[in-house]
Amino acid sequence: MTPVDDLGEPVPLTGRPRRVVSLVPSLTEAVLTGVLDPTSLVGATDYCTHPPDLGAARVGGSKYPDVDRVLALRPDLVLANSEENRPEDVARLRADGIPVWVTEAPATVPTALGSLRRLLATTWDVEPPWLPAAEDLWREVTPPWTRAVIPVWRKPWVVLGRDTFAGDVLRRLGVLNAFADHPDRYPRPPLPDLQRADAVILPDEPYAFTPTDGPQFFPTLRPAHVSGRHLTWYGPSLVAARPTLESALTTQLADPERTTRQTGVDDT
């Protein structure tokens, strides 16, 4: 039977893929950690930073890849994601006869790991050691101990809303998302509405928040800076993500006077 991806679309594989292009940084890391020989990944995006010694040809960004460059690499499988990649790019690749496996944007950690498990089992019949390790680590849900707003962009401000993977990561660490009940997955509230929480969690990607670019806009909230990769990538990084995020959050949010707060900043 022809396998289907997370969206129910057929992926007409003729065997185990040996020339793979990944248009998703976290999937790049996942297939190169205990699954694929590095030479089998022939293309990746400019934002695929892990593993650090990745030698695959670069094909542009996730949202706007160079589809002609992808086609020139003659892949027998392209990996994509429903949230990170445009449907028109996926459609063009399929129209040119390229099998594309699209993962669905996961709303929870178990959903994300389940999606990876099915992808890896179906295409390569493999269970890398990091997969059951991550599943075991993230089963536990810590009781809530703080409520936070989680920006992922500014100018305009964009925050985590309902049904996001990163929101579930934080929920499992005991951090309630102040916008978890918002009708949008990525709301764009005005800055005054972002002050209604105990803390603000500032990742270093996709927007690169820093100690001098971020906390000053939240003068009454306790700030915590975290790795965006550990917060938003799903794959082998999840094994290190839990202890790293737990340590960062408890250390930075335990002392409300830890970070100097600034006021009067113009956010125009």
216-239 pLDDT, tens digit per residue, is 999 999 999 999 999 999 999 999
CA 24 to chain centre: 9
Tokens of 84: 């990170």
Structural domain includes residue 75? yes
CA distance 158 to 186: 6
Identify the band that residue 262 occupies on the pLDDT scale cut at 50, 70 and 90: very low
Q: According to the model, what pLDDT value does residue 255 have?
A: 54
Please check whether residue 159 is in contact with residue 187, taking contact to mean a CB–CB distance below 8 angstroms. yes
pLDDT at residue 256 is higher than 90: no
Q: Is the pLDDT of residue 3 over 80?
A: yes
Distance separating alpha carbons of residues 70 and 44, to the nearest angstrom: 9
Band of the pLDDT at 76, cuts 50, 70, 90? Answer: very high
DSSP string, the chain: ---B-TTS-B---SSS-SSEEE-SHHHHHHHTTTTS-GGGEEEE-TT---STT--SEE-B-SSSB-HHHHHHT--SEEEEETTTS-HHHHHHHHHTT--EEEEP--SSHHHHHHHHHHHHHHHH----THHHHHHHHTS--PPP-EEEE-EEETTTTEE--SS-HHHHHHHHTTEEETTTTSSSSS----GGGGGSSSEEEEESSSS--BTTBSGGG-TTSEEEEE-HHHHH--STHHHHHHHHHHHHHHHHHH-TTSS---------
Average pLDDT, the chain: 93
Kindly tell me if the per-residue pLDDT of 136 is higher than 60. yes
Are residues 147 and 74 both part of a single domain? Answer: no
Specify which residues 132 forms β-bridges with.
Answer: none
Confidence band (pLDDT; 50, 70, 90) for 254? Answer: confident
Query: How does pLDDT run across 34-49, given as a tens digit for each residue?
Result: 999 999 999 999 999 9
241 and 151, same domain (yes or no): yes
Question: 1 pLDDT band (50/70/90 cuts)?
Answer: confident
Task: For residue 214, give its domain range.
Answer: 136-254
226 in a domain, yes or no?
Answer: yes
Together in a domain, 154 and 242: yes
Q: Tell me the CATH number at 70.
A: 3.40.50.1980
**pLDDT tier, 267 (very low <50, low <70, confident <90, very high otherwise):** very low
pLDDT at residue 175 is higher than 50: yes
Q: How many domains is the chain partitioned into structurally?
A: 2
pTM of the full predicted structure?
0.91
Q: How far is CA 52 from CA 38, 94, 229, in A?
A: 12, 30, 13
Does residue 181 lie within any of the structural domains? yes
Interval 15-41 mean pLDDT: 95
